[in-house]
């Protein structure tokens, strides 16, 4: 699949603006680290691994402009709080023993290429968990747009589909920003994988009707005990899956593991602007003065997760990441 969320070019970082997809294909050209920080914060680029890759390129732009490296690192790290890949990528650049532009750029390119390779391996390991004639439910966008390519949860679906095992995907719309409807649907259409989008609230009745064999989701941060922060609604799916006896699987690269964080209660959960909920497609639908609670992520306890698939293989509960 040829979709990529960003490309490095002579004049800077070209970023596919995911806020405009699927109706418009707009590429932003970012020339400084502040532009990358704003693109991450405003979700022109999103998805934990893609955020990390973008931040690494942001560091390369800072090195090119000879900006103080701690200034760029601190600024980029302040863009979004939950996805640990952001901090992992910045730390990796900070660990270089030089601030030479060429070296930093090569490291950013390596981070991108490694992520793609990780995803292929996640796909291969995860496809082993997919039964024949599987109907798989997923949430948010965890595909090529969210990663260096191929995807994590969507990468498993892609690989299993290529093996002839997938007969149907159910893509949750993923309110409020609709990454499932706008982005996952766009990727599935291009790959000709059979699917239907569902309103988030339809997941329970589909499971009850025995239409779902497996639920697979991505992750923004996985604590040492397997507690997982992912897109709002993931926890609901995990509870529903357990109550209907359906396997619930998380897919993520090892760069999403945060062993220093003992459990999920310690993971910072981002709260975003109320307009994300009050508006649909830029049109105000909530009443003026309506109070809103808008967390971008929720926490799924490790005990509800049947398997966590990384490039290293399939981890099973009880989880103890180090
Ligand atoms: O707010 P987003 O769109 O950045 O949230 C993305 C998710 O929650 C994904 O499931 C997660 O980052 C994994 S992407 C491979």
Instruction: Point out the ligand 1 atom lying closest to the alpha carbon of residue 252.
Output: 15
Rg over alpha carbons for the chain, rounded to the nearest Å, is 19
Q: Of the residues 51, 112, 141, which should be mutated to test ligand 1's pocket, given the most ligand atoms within 8 Å of the CB?
A: 141
Contact status, residue 51 vs residue 44, Cβ threshold 8 Å: no
Mind listing the pLDDT tens digit for each residue in 126-153?
999 999 999 999 999 999 999 999 999 9
What mean pLDDT comes out for the span 183-206?
Answer: 98
What is the 300 CA–ligand 1 centroid distance (Å)?
Answer: 14
Are residue 79 and residue 52 in the same domain, yes or no?
A: yes
How many C-beta neighbours within 10 Å does residue 201 have? 12
Of 46, 141, 50, 39, residue with least CA distance to 89:
50
Domain termination residue (choose one: 103, 119, 135): 119
What is the 132 CA–ligand 1 centroid distance (Å)?
Answer: 27
For the question of residue 227 being annotated catalytic, the response is: no
Mind listing the pLDDT tens digit for each residue in 54-92?
999 999 999 999 999 999 999 999 999 999 999 999 999
**pLDDT value at residue 10:** 85
Q: Of the residues 53, 140, 235, 298, which should be mutated to test ligand 1's pocket, given the most ligand atoms within 8 Å of the CB?
A: 140
Domain termination residue (choose one: 119, 145, 172): 119
**pLDDT value at residue 213:** 98
Q: Write out the two tokens for 15.
A: 């970023």
Q: What is the CATH number of the domain that holds 115?
A: 1.20.120.420
Are residue 284 and residue 137 in the same domain, yes or no?
A: yes
Q: Which of 200, 213, 220, 298 is catalytic?
A: 220
Statement: residue 1 has pLDDT above 60: no
């Amino acid at each position: 699949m040829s979709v990529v969320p960003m490309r490095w070019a002579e004049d800077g970082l070209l970023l596919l603006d995911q806020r405009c997809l699927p109706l418009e294909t707009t590429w932003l050209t970012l020339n400084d680290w502040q532009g990358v920080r704003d693109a991450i914060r405003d979700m022109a680029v999103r998805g934990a691994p893609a955020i990390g890759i973008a931040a690494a390129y942001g560091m390369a732009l800072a090195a090119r402009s000879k900006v103080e490296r701690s200034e760029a690192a601190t600024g980029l790290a302040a863009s979004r709080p939950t996805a640990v890949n952001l901090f992992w990528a910045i730390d990796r650049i900070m660990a270089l023993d030089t601030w030479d532009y060429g070296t930093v750029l090569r490291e950013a390119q390596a981070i991108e290429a490694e992520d793609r390779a990780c995803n292929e391996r996640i796909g291969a390991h995860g496809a082993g968990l997919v039964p024949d004639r599987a109907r798989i439910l997923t949430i948010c966008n965890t595909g090529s747009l969210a990663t260096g390519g191929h995807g994590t949860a969507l990468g498993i679906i892609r690989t299993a589909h290529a093996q002839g095992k997938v007969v149907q995907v159910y893509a949750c719309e993923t309110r409020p920003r609709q990454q499932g409807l706008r982005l996952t649907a766009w990727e599935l259409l291009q790959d000709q994988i059979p699917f239907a989008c569902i309103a988030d609230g339809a997941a329970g009745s589909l499971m009850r009707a025995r239409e779902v064999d497996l639920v697979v989701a991505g992750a923004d941060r996985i604590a040492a005990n397997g507690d997982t922060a992912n897109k709002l609604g993931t926890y609901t799916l995990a509870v529903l899956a357990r109550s209907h006896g359906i396997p619930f699987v998380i897919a993520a690269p090892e760069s999403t593991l945060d062993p220093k964080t003992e459990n999920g209660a310690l993971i910072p959960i981002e709260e975003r602007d109320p307009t994300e909920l009050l508006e649909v497609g830029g049109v105000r639908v909530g009443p003026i003065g309506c109070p809103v609670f808008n967390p971008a992520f929720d926490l799924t306890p490790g005990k509800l997760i049947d398997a966590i698939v990384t490039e290293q293989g399939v981890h099973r509960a009880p989880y103890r990441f180090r």
